[in-house]
């Protein structure tokens, strides 16, 4: 029986962040404004929300231990527009950033 192919949205990335880095997939940009105006691709801003796909081991402390992350895989977070480093993995655009660049967790 053939296996169903998993989409890029559900597949686990082939990259693992180190230290206090987190790997994030940006959520889609808004297509329309609150007033109902449809935005062309050139007018859309980079989304500032994303879903955490992977986390590193945590910040290395002076005593040799690791600090626990405040975020976890699956959290939806808010971050600055130009935070982190944009990378492409298997054709999918992801963002790699320090946990300290994350502004908030969206409930």
What is the pTM assigned to this prediction?
A: 0.75
The two three-digit tokens of residue 45, written as one number: 């801003």
Q: What is the CA radius of gyration of the chain?
A: 16
The two three-digit tokens of residue 71, written as one number: 């975020």
pLDDT at residue 43, as a whole number: 56
Which of 26-30, 68-72, 76-80 is the least confident region? 26-30
Which of 32-36, 43-47, 71-75, 86-90 is the least confident region? 43-47
User: Which DSSP string do the residues of 72-96 spell out, in sequence order?
Assistant: -TT-EEEE-TT-SEEEEETTEEEEE
**Contact status, residue 86 vs residue 95, Cβ threshold 8 Å:** yes
Average pLDDT score over residue span 72-76: 95
Q: Maximum Cα–Cα distance for the chain, whole Å?
A: 55
Please report which confidence band the pLDDT of residue 6 belongs to, taking 50, 70 and 90 as the band edges.
very low
- All structural domains of the chain: 21-29+45-106 (2.30.33.40)
**Contact status, residue 95 vs residue 24, Cβ threshold 8 Å:** yes
Please report which confidence band the pLDDT of residue 11 belongs to, taking 50, 70 and 90 as the band edges.
low
In this predicted structure, the answer to whether residue 16 has a pLDDT above a threshold of 80 is yes
Percent of the chain with pLDDT strictly greater than 70: 75
pLDDT at residue 90, as a whole number: 87
Class of residue 94 by CB neighbours under 10 A (exposed 0-12, middle 13-18, buried 19+)? buried
């Amino acid at each position: 029986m053939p296996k169903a192919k998993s989409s890029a949205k559900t597949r686990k990335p082939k990259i693992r962040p180190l230290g206090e880095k987190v790997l994030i997939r940006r959520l889609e940009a808004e297509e329309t404004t609150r007033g109902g105006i449809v935005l062309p691709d050139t007018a859309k801003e980079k989304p500032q929300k994303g879903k955490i796909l992977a986390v590193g081991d945590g910040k290395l402390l002076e005593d040799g231990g690791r600090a626990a992350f405040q975020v976890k895989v699956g959290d939806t977070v808010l971050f600055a527009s130009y935070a982190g480093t944009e990378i492409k993995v298997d054709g999918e655009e992801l963002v790699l950033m320090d946990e300290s660049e994350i502004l908030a967790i969206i409930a």
